[in-house]
Amino acid sequence: MKLLITRPEPGASATACQVKKMGFEPVLAPCLTIEPLAAILPEHPAALLITSAQAIPMLPARLHSIPCLCVGDATAAKMRQAGFCSVMSASGDADDLLALVAAHNIGGTHLLAVGERHGMELARQLRAHGVKVLRRKVYTTRNLPVLPPAIRAALAAGEIKKALFYSAETAKAFIRLRPPGTGMMEALALSPAVAAQVQGLPWQSIRVALAPNESDLLALLK
């Protein structure tokens, strides 16, 4: 069975390897590309707040010893692989990250490293809880302008039966491409917020992961 993977690289290829082992034929259509932004980062923040693994390559090695609080387990694992020494995971979404920050009460200024147009609501909520936050945009995203002809043809022919959606932004980018054939497909979303963004297309069904992590998302394929 063909499975559409819409997340950006390098995550798209990593997911493709996983679903191949599960017996699916991955079709890669990364709807976004990630581009770094020049950002002036503080020398010694009290903590790092990370809502997406896309920010990790943009963080300098001098921050490796700073405590890191991440939104999810997969992002936390990638932080450790990148050389960060003290990493905690909220194992959930932005609300869970907010609770994790409040629970640890590290004090000082927290660096929230995010993508362009991201993290504004989280920063507002943190400040409302008395947390000092410095929000810095370290990357931006570019939408895929058109679907590759072969993928559009496969969608129109009903050859692709399921699609994976990891983020609301990716889901919105997919909607803008006006893909054919989704009425014959099942959309699998990481969270209710992601599922809400694919509602604009006809689907055979929309299913949401039990918890907002990749393991529970891929469990929907079983």
Domain extents in the chain: 2-31+145-219, 35-141
Pick the CATH number of 35-141 from 3.40.50.10090, 3.40.50.720, 3.40.50.150, 3.20.20.70: 3.40.50.10090
Tokens of 12: 């798209």
pLDDT tens readout for residues 25-46: 999 999 999 999 999 999 999 9
Tokens of 17: 């390897």
pLDDT tens readout for residues 129-171: 999 999 999 999 999 999 999 999 999 999 999 999 999 999 9
Q: What is the pTM of this model?
A: 0.83
pLDDT at site 105: 86
Q: What sections of 49-163 are H helices per DSSP? A: 73-81, 94-104, 120-128, 149-156
CATH class of 2-31+145-219: alpha beta
User: Are domains 2-31+145-219 and 35-141 of this chain identical in fold?
Assistant: yes
